[in-house]
A and B are shown apart, each in its own frame.
Chain A
Amino acid sequence: MIPRPKPEKFRLRRTMMFMNAQRPGLIKDAYIYGADSIMLDLEDAVAENQKDSARFSLYHALKEIDYGETEVIVRINGLDTPHWQEDIRVVVAGGADGIRIAKTEKAEDVKIVEEATLAAEREFGVEEGRTLLMAAIESPKGVLNAYEICTASDRLFGVAISGGDYRKCMQVKPIRGGIEMLGARAHLLVAARAAGVQCFDTVFTSLDDDEGFRAEVRQNIEMGFDGKSLINPRQIQVVHQMMAPTEKEVAQAEDIVRAFRENADKGVGVFSLNGKMIDVAFVPGAERVIKLAKAGGVSAGGRLTRYEGDL
């Protein structure tokens, strides 16, 4: 058995890639693509008559494949199916890092999964509280209840909007620029930030439309998403590249953090740096830039290089 490091509630999750848990060819070397997280899927990717088979496959993959630093999340079947309870047992027994709850509509859904997860941790002798949760919001009702969902459990690290089902409910199609998803994305982001959890955008399914994908990722970054669900390994590096701060941004962030610390030591709270007013409100943003640079690399001339500064 491969011992996995204890899951971290807050870590970098720029890219979360779906993989069908039933297909050995996909899951055997899923870590080589370099996604921050992989999401092994027991839900929609698995046909109804293969749900049993997918669990056996998942269990042994979790036990025997070394995914290294890649986070391993499992998407379980919805609470309206006969599968979710056994899904939770196998996820916990296998030692996955977390569970993605499909079609979350209310806080109660998270609490039900949390309870079953705790029961499974006790049954299989897994440290209580180890298994993290995230909720996929796929309906207008889920969007409206986003804040109560975000605050339903200490295990919950984030929420993801899921475009396929949401658009179906809203009777819309994907549109360039994303006007059809604007309300849901914005509402979910506000709820997640208010609750202090992460927020992830939906998959982009037109695999041949590179320009459209980049435009959507750019909008995700501008809106403040922590990351994106992906369905193709080709999309991973694009997101990492686009989310990486530039050398100039890193230098500015370093200046802000250093100047703030120096001024704070002197008892000064607000000051001017290169003609711009700086106070405590700028510090978390600057620290986030440095964290991204440390983890994902700095974008210099189209290449990712790792941050080697001292902050």
Chain B
Amino acid sequence: MPEIFLDNLKKSYGSVEVLHGIDLEMEHAEFTVLVGPSGCGKSTTLRMIAGLETVSSGEIYIDNKPVSKLEPKERDLAMVFQDYALYPHMNVEKNMSFALRLEKRPKKEIKRKVQEVAEIVGLSEYLHRKPAELSGGQRQRVAMGRALTRDSSTFLFDEPLSNLDAKLRTQMRAELAMMRQRVRKNMIYVTHDQIEAMTLADRIVVMHGGYIQQQGTPEQLFKKPANKFVAGFLGTPPMNFMPASLQRSGDDVYLSGKGFDLLCDGFTLDRLSQARSDHILLGVRPCDLDYQPDAATNAALDIDVVLSEYIGAQSVLIGDCGGQKIMVELKSDTPIALGERLRFSVDLKDLHFFNPEDDRAIG
């Protein structure tokens, strides 16, 4: 049975509809990540689940109970906010125990619970400090701790790491992943950072323009993106897109575009048989292009090197293929020079095909 279920959830501000019918099922104790660019509706969706935004139409079910008319506190959830949303006038202990104190739990129990959670989030020494006396990372931990003391069945995270600097973010991401091992609860996590989404999620839900674009495991989404948006959104550097058309020459069929003619095999032709026309959009990830100077012309792209970005073991090459920008991942010790023309072989089964009219994936 799904633990949380969104049924045709819509949100309008005045006459402007920003969420156009979100259907989503989340299993028990699943870590679901809503990911998408700014303004895609992911935070709104989360805030509707939390009860901080009203539901315009549709329904939210938690444990088969419709909750869209209930107050946040009646939904049995805890939330971590982007700006932490700590109570500035309370010390760490008071912040973490606020909900328990409102419930009038016994003092001993509250104290025990706070100490237990402070241990988990590494704040035991800071219980008597106020939020203003903590660093960004520590405040983040308090926010997490406050959510953990609640013992709610569901945790909501609204871009919890985006206010941290890059190094701390990576560290907190790992800690979050570890905490997740210990705490088996429903978790819904909103982020615009696809790396956070990929590393943390059991299930990724990619949103764009108020619609769900695709949902599935990180691997499913990475390997079989349902449309051009998902394909371009997940993965760094992003997927390259090139217009191409099917050209027949005798018995052979070529996938041709500016600067390339790829000979299609039976498997590829089978995939492409679902295309509506001979014109398609070809997608290839930067990591799927293989530097091979002696590859056959009909199985490779020739790329002029425009720029090389050194990141360490890998470099990202920005090149030009028949007048189009294309990015390639390359081992940094590969001897190349700017302006040089390099040949990269392509494995046909690594290619992604999209219908240029509606950007949907083919095959």
The judgment on whether A and B are partners is: no
* Interfacial residues, chain A to chain B (CB-CB below 8 A): none
